[in-house]
Amino acid sequence: MDLQLTVPCAVVSTQPTRPILKHIGDSRQSVVCDVSGGVPTIIYWGAALNAASIANLDAIAVATARPNMPGVTDAINAISLVPCHGDGATMRPGIGGHRPGGRHWAPRFSFVSCEVVGQQLISISRDDVAQLELETKLECSAWGTLHATATLRNVGESRYLLTNLSITLPVVESATQLLTFSGRWAREAQLYRRDFVDGAWTAENRTGRTSHEHLPLIFATERTADEWNGQVWGAHLAWSGNSVLLAEVLPDGRKYLQLGELLHAGELCLEPGESYATPEVIGVWSGNGLNAATQALHRNVRSRPHHPTVVQPRKVMLNTWEAVYFDHDLSRLCALADAAANVGVERFVLDDGWFGSRRNDKSGLGDWFVSPDVYPNGLAPLISHVRKLGMDFGIWVEPEMVNPDSDLFRAHPEWVLAASGYEPVLARNQLVLNLAHPDAYAHIYSQLDALLAENDIAYVKWDMNRAHVHATGSDGAAGTHNQTRAVYQLIDELRVAHPNVEIESCASGGGRIDHEILRRTERVWTSDCNDALERQIIQRSTSMLVPLEVMGAHIGPPTAHTTGRRQSLSFRGATAMFGHMGVEWNLLSLRDDQQIQLRRIIGLYKQHRELLHSGDFVRYDVTSDNSAVAHGVISTDKRTALLSYAQLSTAQGLVPSPWKIHGLLSDVEYTVAYVPLGDSREHASFTMTGDQLGRIGIQPPMLFPESAVLIYLENQ
């Protein structure tokens, strides 16, 4: 017996719709979109088109039209900003979800409207069957970035369970290399290059933060592209929670990058009238290699109204963590502050151990009041001492966490972000506090607000020291999305109440580094590893996402606490120079000669920090075996530069190859001078033109492994 189920449906037309092309862009880049389909499709993203090309966009549509292929659907499935399986896309859909009973699991959107406002393309699409509305926004910024978001609205009468909404950006088939960033605690942002010629690469992050494991940044490049040459397409997911990144080569040769929030089962349910907006995806294109692409990302961060260098130079800080850990003693801390001021430190940051019962990492989180046992007179005596020395005072907090051994947990165990009926999974002896719970949120806000109101605190180091595991909200559903939004809201509200307080984003080091957290913070802690050898690599890769002035870089002790390596002060200082410099070292243990050298290094940083934090950061490829790295900052007018050459390990060749210093004005003469870091090396200065420096280069000195030199170039 044959059974038939008849369902009315709309048939996908096999006749191509006449393209409707829109252009956005400026002198840096052009983007051409076809908005005639259900969702806008980028058909060109690259170098800026001239006026004649923009006036004749139809020619682009004709020239780039793809034929139907045998063995596939008659409908030509475009790589739209949000590809839909209902349109015939067999790639990973940009949207996933369903209504009760599994209905409407593959939406098919139709064009409703679009408009270009300035350099922003806003498009509305609708699926009348599934009763969903999709708004996409695509904008070319003045600083060379492409910003994309999508918002899904439930315009039906039943709930819609959303499982995925991601942004998809096409890249050209000649982009045959993929650059991705993976890592772990104390070894973040390791750069990996791989062929991008077939199949798919994906990275999924379920840690509840941006993560150490997968920096949400990906580049597709031409095979010959390097730091200075070739075409580069990149994308960053500006989001501090769970994420999924995908790069795929389709069977027909087309390629794309897809980025979005990773949603757990049942995590996001849209009731009638509700909507969900994706995190922003920030794209970059460059025809001049990776340096130009990453400089656009730097300009995006620097465009913020509250960018720290707009207010004041980046102050050198001392963080007490590796100096005292939990062993807080007022007299010792005051002596440490004296030693810090003596070498030129401008900000004193008191790390973990000042509050509640926090004498170790087993108790106290959640009790954000000054410990009467350690500080019987409060923080005022220490803060007063620090301020009299001319330094700012900063403090460490971890508002998203709670220890089971705490007053807060004993009073409100129901405020934990965990599933009822299960034993919660501990990490570092702590649990995640559910900030999406209104009462928990209000309690933490009131404690932090009082802390900042009652004390002269200029800086907050905001930490987050564990991943989400089985993170479940009060309603029993997965809670990471709501928790991430609540963290943003908490920081935002504290900033409104205390606008002059700087905030650092830390998550066991570099576990929360992204452009969205930087909308509301002034700094990221790059890594818990202060080993200068590891930091050379970590900071080099992190510089591909954020500028130096927001990237915390500390001079640690001679023997690194995370690796046991012993390194010279000159190497540690040269490494910390290219970031927001700090010190994380028990300065009470310094010899006189170490004090003198550290004071000199800090003085050099202060001398050059305006250049370091306003110029263009560049990286150089100087060896084929990665035994040495070079990088630096060139002023925007290209008249001055401060550069570093670091020998990481022994090289295959005995003598280093010439270092070709690109990025300068070719017809200008520069004085090239080595910058003394307090070691015994002496080098004579010399003069070369920018053309000579870029084409011929200079001979780097022979260096021992784990050592570095700085050079300063100036047009007299």
Q: What is the set of active-site residues?
A: 463, 528
- DSSP letter (8 states) at residue 549: G
Rounded to 5 degrees, what angle do the CA atoms 305, 148, 120 make?
75
Q: For every residue of 133-155, which 3-state class applies, written as one string?
A: EEEEEEEECCCCEEEEEEEEEEC
**Strands 502-505 and 523-525, bridge-based pairing:** parallel
| CA 625 – CA 191 distance, rounded (Å) | 15
- Please give the DSSP secondary-structure letter assigned to residue 208: S
Give the three-state DSSP class for 13.
Answer: coil
Residue 80 DSSP one-character state: B
Supply the DSSP symbol for 354: S
Q: Strand pairing partners for 583?
A: 318, 555
For the record, the structure tokens of 661 come out as 């210093």
Q: Which residues lie below 8 Å from residue 181, measured CB to CB, with a gap of 6+?
A: 189, 190, 191, 192, 214, 215, 217, 218, 541, 544
Enumerate residues 6+ apart whose C-beta is below 8 A from 413.
none
Contact 673, 711 (CB under 8 A): yes
Interatomic CA distance for residues 308 and 306, integer angstroms: 6
**What token pair was written down for 477?**
């559903």
DSSP assignment letter at 179: E
Cβ–Cβ < 8 Å for 570, 320: no
Question: What whole-number distance in Å separates Cα of residue 78 and Cα of residue 22?
Answer: 16
